[in-house]
Amino acid sequence: MILARVLQDKLDAKRMVIMDGATGTEVARRGVTIDPKLSWSAKANITSPDLVRDIHRDYILAGAEIITANTFSTSRATLATDGLSEQTEEINKQSVALAIEARKNCEAEKTVVIAGSMSSFEPKGNPEINPLYEEALEDYREQVEILAGAGVDLIILEMFVRTVDLRAAVEAATETNLPIWVGLSCERHNDQIYMGLLGRHGGETIADAVAAAASPNVKAFCIMHSPPEVTADALRELKAYTSLPIGAYAHGGSIEAEIGKAPKISKVGQFLSDTDPEKYLDYAREWAACGATIIGGCCGTTPEHIRALVDSNIIDTRG
């Protein structure tokens, strides 16, 4: 909890906090096949642990102050899509252990925060289909208890596009007493910003999400896994609805071409190169100007993107 306190002090002082970049697409970029229709990069925790640990190390060496355990797609319901639900405890524990080992190997135990990620409930990619609240709550409760027990300092909720599972995730995470950061995926449709993904939305807005995530443990809101072009406007909207610290970690490139299509891993590989670290830094400067004091990277970003942020004067930016 000491690291969580240090992190909160940075947020309270409006100091820029730099997160890590992508893990899933980085696993793919380094040669391990992952499937967006199944459990994404979850399997890599047990089939390629050295590679996952190396990714965490490279983000720490790049200067990230927060690394995210590879638990985005390791809840029981998501693992079940890949026939791995029996290994829920093993995979979640292993994911956190790899992040902790990387931090230890870098002698960064006193400085680097380890976040446990939980993501939107199944079906993940379809904001129009609402899951049952109780089913989502049960799934998040199991995962967040394992993450907390394994030693994460922070819970980050990622790629939420519906309030029903967001409420369930916030309720489950609040039971651990860990701080919670809420990550929303947003898209623009007919000049209005909605929580949405891949060209689809369920009609819910950023204001709806902020209202749904009411908990004393929620300490920040981020716009993440969203097109960089939409992120700045979404941040401005977010700032109007919350006085909590705000942040951004977008895709490393435009996915406009992906709208309406299921992402394919080769396409993910393509949009990796769309935004180089310098271009990403330009976006990040705009997000900082919108008041973001938490910046990292999502799909397609690499340790080089994070290094570019760390080496820039964005660190000194005040929102």
Least gap, CB of 135 to Zn ion (angstroms): 24
Scanning residues 198 to 217, which ones bind Zn ion (CB under 5 A)? none
Least gap, CB of 252 to Zn ion (angstroms): 9
Least gap, CB of 137 to Zn ion (angstroms): 24
* Secondary structure of the chain in HEC code, one letter for each residue: CHHHHHHHHHHHCCCCEEECCCCHHHHHHCCCCCECCCCECCCHHHHCHHHHHHHHHHHHHHCCCEEECCCCCCCHHHHHCCCCHHHHHHHHHHHHHHHHHHHHHCCCCCCCEEEEEEECCCCCCCCCCCCCHHHHHHHHHHHHHHHHHHCCCEEEEEEECCHHHHHHHHHHHHCCCCCEEEEECEEEECCEEEEEECCEECCCCHHHHHHHCCCCCEEEEEEECCCHHHHHHHHHHHHHHCCCCEEEECCCCCCHHHCCCCCCHHHHHHHHCCCCHHHHHHHHHHHHHCCEEEECCCCCCCHHHHHHHHCCHHHHCCC
Least gap, CB of 221 to Zn ion (angstroms): 16
The Cα 215–Cα 179 span in angstroms is 10
Interaction of residue 225 with Zn ion, rule CB under 5 A? yes
CB closer to Zn ion, 168 vs 299: 299
Least gap, CB of 226 to Zn ion (angstroms): 8
CB closer to Zn ion, 102 vs 255: 255
CB closer to Zn ion, 121 vs 317: 121
CB closer to Zn ion, 108 vs 246: 246
Least gap, CB of 239 to Zn ion (angstroms): 22
CB closer to Zn ion, 180 vs 298: 298
Given the rule CB under 5 A, which of 132-140, 180-188, 225-233, 253-261 is the region that contacts Zn ion? 225-233
Residue 181: φ, ψ to 5°: -115, 135
CB closer to Zn ion, 75 vs 317: 75
N-term to C-term CA, the chain: 26
* Secondary structure of 274-311 in HEC code, one letter for each residue: CCCHHHHHHHHHHHHHCCEEEECCCCCCCHHHHHHHHC
Given the rule CB under 5 A, which of 48-56, 115-123, 219-227, 256-264 is the region that contacts Zn ion? 219-227
Least gap, CB of 258 to Zn ion (angstroms): 12
Q: Are the C-beta atoms of 131 and 179 separated by less than 8 Å?
A: no
By rule CB under 5 A, what count of residues binds Zn ion?
A: 3
Interaction of residue 186 with Zn ion, rule CB under 5 A? no
Interaction of residue 124 with Zn ion, rule CB under 5 A? no
CB closer to Zn ion, 155 vs 298: 298
CB closer to Zn ion, 167 vs 225: 225
CB closer to Zn ion, 98 vs 298: 298
Least gap, CB of 249 to Zn ion (angstroms): 8
Least gap, CB of 225 to Zn ion (angstroms): 4
Scanning residues 276 to 315, which ones bind Zn ion (CB under 5 A)? 298-299
Residues near Zn ion, by CB under 5 A: 225, 298-299
